[in-house]
Structure 1
Amino acid sequence: MHTILFDVDGVFLKEERYFDASALCVWEILGSENYLGLGLDFHLPVAESTIRNIRDMVFDCNRVLNFIKSRGINSNWDMVFLQVSYQLVRGLIQLDQKQVAESYLREPFTRESLQELGAKFREIELKPDYPAFVQGFADSRAQKHELFSVFNQMIETHFQMECNFFSRNSSLWNLCQRAFQEWYIGEELYVQETKIPLIQSGKRGFLKDEIVLAPVDRLQSLLQRLQEKGYTLGIATGRPNLETRVPLSEIGVLKYFDLNRVVTASDVLAAEQKYPQYAPLAKPHPFCYLEALYGKQTDILELLTLDLPLPNVEDILIVGDSLADYYAAKAIGCKFAATLTGLSGEKARASFEALDTDYILQDVLEIENLLL
């Protein structure tokens, strides 16, 4: 193997803070007067103990997270959108006014639209039902980004109207993505990087609270030896550029990767905006791994129209912790090594064994046993 492409979360860095930010984002969009305004005791700043309680509430003690990941979704932006969308659809169905549903499920859908809709939801004293999310998919076998279409089907079935609103191209998805970025990188860095005014102040961010999944010195040593042995090292992550570059630089490992092969959610989003007809391109779609493999100088359309699986990819290894990474590797046709350092930990072994995964590793350091 001469090229190794790594995911970041669940491989190098622990995902916990991403899930915390996702839960807080859902809580804000549903509870803050800047959005739906359903109450929920929304306030800032948030104590650490409160964050734990909010995450347990929003993701039903991780049952919702585990379900979403089991269906092949790996992006935190998508996770936020899924939970917010479910509660929104549930509210529209309880409100049971077809004219209202038709008027709001048209583009453009703005933050003001959420505020107006929230006022209608408060009239019927709507409160979120977070555990119901998993039950809402009980009759569906939808996988990956097909999950979004389930919300369209729910609206069509109840109101007898055509609905194409819920997708990764929707303005609601963009609202969720923006709110998440405020939470994760914090207000100061968010304004500095995006030049976009804050919707809600008081968010300190989690970017400096990252947890490394292996001793840093051993991680640096491993990557250095791989580089010295002639391996090309790349990254394909669901993290945006800033959240990838800063923490990996802080722990001294970014320098071992070919920066032309460090592909992030920012690159995926740019590709979706340029070629919306091919969206969604987030994992488990193999786009980010393909761009990391061929290099960011490669024409995007060329990558999107490749015949898959690729021939002669025996020398390529993808290392990730999730089923989304596995599906991307299988689409490309290359080898896949699963690390058991993701959300499910050792419990993920059974799923990867059932899929006849090429390699199952306790952590990323075990790559040494495969290659060095």
Structure 2
Amino acid sequence: MFTMILFDVDGVMLSEERYFDASALTVHELINSPQYLRGRDEFSPQPQEEEIRRIRKEVFADDKVLNFMKSRGINANWDMVFLQFSYQFVRALSFLHKKHAGLVERIAQEGISRDTLRQVGEYLEGSDFAPDYAGFVQTFQASTAQKHELLLYLNTLLTQETGVSAELFSRNSSLWVICQETFQEWYVGDELYEKTTGEKTRQPGKRGFLKDEIAIVNPQAFAAMLAELKDKGVELGIATGRPTLETHVPLEEMGVFSYFNPRRVSTASDVLAAEEQYPERAPLSKPQPFQYLRSFLGADTPLAEIMNYEIPLKNGDEILIVGDSVADFLAARSLGCKFAATLTGLTGQEARAKFEELGADYILNDVLELKQIV
């Protein structure tokens, strides 16, 4: 009998589609907006559905880029945006280095800001530079980098392409923050972005996707299962790569958030707060076990205790983690917990072979099949 079940959200309760759409639009903006690299493609803060489909198909190469990132343990959309845009930015710097070596060397010394992106865009204007989105997979396949080592590998690529040594690319970099903030603008829209950050969106006109979420399973059936688990004395929690707002709002709309113990809910917002206090321990997002450990111990547990807690857990066999990604699996194994994979993520049933190879304890067609094992 499990005493606690900790759930991922995307790919388990909610479809990841809108997150991936927002990720593609973020990369598209950073490359094509006049505020950034001012590429050749037209940019609009209010694309129609057909245009969103086209942009995502292009930016993530029919989702091949997303599948590759997930296979290497990348689970957070912020990291996915950062990786694809930074790869294109490295290519742009390599292109410019032939005639403007001093520019690249200066950027290596000073770092990357929004002004830097605009300046690079000015240098690129009128040139024949074009992004190569599909080239991401082939380039990164040459590396054995896993998880967040992929972010650092961008520095290696820059040195290989330009001969300039730099540490511009990491989870703590200023460019990562730019990618994260721009993604948030797309996902929550102008009104909520200003309400939650106190700042206006830098590119006004974004409607947001927060109220356009898609439930994976019937919300009423899911709520009934959660109620039954609670009646059996099982503690229910969440560990998600979504920020707090994007976790609470859609799950409340579904009518299921109240079944989870608020002490056992950890979000990307909690990860960022912890990384600010312990920058030397970053990154703490999945596949690192921090989020699931925080939910297990409880949000009121002092952060220092969580950071230094001994793992694997002594009672790990009593804890079940439910997720759709390799990153969730790796976090569960680090904690010594049981893992149930749901086949409702990006690759659907195709993920079964991968989870069988990894040795997942349970493989479920969807989260409602938990009833068969609990």
| TM-score tier (shorter) | over 0.9
**Aligned runs of 1:199-238 on 2, under 5 Å?**
199-238=202-241
**Aligned runs of 1:1-372 on 2, under 5 Å?**
1-96=2-97, 97-371=100-374
d(CA) in 1 for partners of 2:321, 2:130: 42
Q: Is the 8 A contact 2:112 2:168 kept in 1?
A: no
**Residue range with higher mean Cα deviation, 69-78 or 98-107:** 98-107
- How many residues align? The count is 371
Q: 3-state DSSP class of the match of 1:46?
A: coil
Q: Is the 8 A contact 1:25 1:180 kept in 2?
A: yes
d(CA) in 1 for partners of 2:124, 2:284: 33
Q: Is the 8 A contact 1:272 1:278 kept in 2?
A: yes
Q: 3-state DSSP class of the match of 1:105?
A: helix
**Residue range with higher mean Cα deviation, 34-43 or 8-17:** 34-43
Give the C-alpha shift of residue 161 in structure 1: 3.4
d(CA) in 1 for partners of 2:178, 2:356: 38
Distance 1:116 1:287, change over 3 A: same
d(CA) in 2 for partners of 1:119, 1:105: 18
Task: Give the residue type in structure 2 aligned to 1:311.
Answer: K
d(CA) in 2 for partners of 1:246, 1:354: 36
- What per-residue deviation string (whole Å, max 9, x for no partner) do you get for residues 222-261 of structure 1? 0001111101000000000000000000111010001011
**Residue range with higher mean Cα deviation, 92-101 or 321-330:** 92-101
Task: Give the residue type in structure 1 aligned to 2:19.
Answer: Y
Q: Is the 8 A contact 1:148 1:167 kept in 2?
A: yes
d(CA) in 2 for partners of 1:166, 1:66: 22
Give the C-alpha shift of residue 190 in structure 1: 0.9
d(CA) in 2 for partners of 1:271, 1:222: 32
- TM-score (normalizing by structure 1): 0.97
Q: Is the 8 A contact 1:95 1:124 kept in 2?
A: no
d(CA) in 1 for partners of 2:111, 2:160: 23
d(CA) in 1 for partners of 2:111, 2:96: 21
- What per-residue deviation string (whole Å, max 9, x for no partner) do you get for residues 43-99 of structure 1? 232110000000000000100110111110000000000001000001111212442
Q: Is the 8 A contact 1:15 1:343 kept in 2?
A: yes
Structure 1: any 5+ residue segments left out of the alignment? none
- What per-residue deviation string (whole Å, max 9, x for no partner) do you get for residues 260-305 of structure 1? 1110000001111111000011111110000000011112222222
Q: Is the 8 A contact 1:183 1:205 kept in 2?
A: yes
- TM-score (normalizing by structure 2): 0.97
Distance 1:107 1:370, change over 3 A: farther
Q: Is the 8 A contact 1:107 1:171 kept in 2?
A: no
d(CA) in 2 for partners of 1:73, 1:102: 30
**Residue range with higher mean Cα deviation, 118-127 or 326-335:** 118-127
Q: Is the 8 A contact 2:45 2:203 kept in 1?
A: no
- What per-residue deviation string (whole Å, max 9, x for no partner) do you get for residues 323-359 of structure 1? 0000000111110000000000000000000011100
**Residue range with higher mean Cα deviation, 186-195 or 175-184:** 186-195
**Residue range with higher mean Cα deviation, 119-128 or 276-285:** 119-128
d(CA) in 2 for partners of 1:212, 1:194: 27
Task: Give the residue type in structure 1 aligned to 2:230.
Answer: Q
Distance 1:90 1:108, change over 3 A: closer
Q: 3-state DSSP class of the match of 1:234?
A: strand
Q: 3-state DSSP class of the match of 2:238?
A: strand
d(CA) in 2 for partners of 1:178, 1:22: 11
Distance 1:107 1:269, change over 3 A: farther
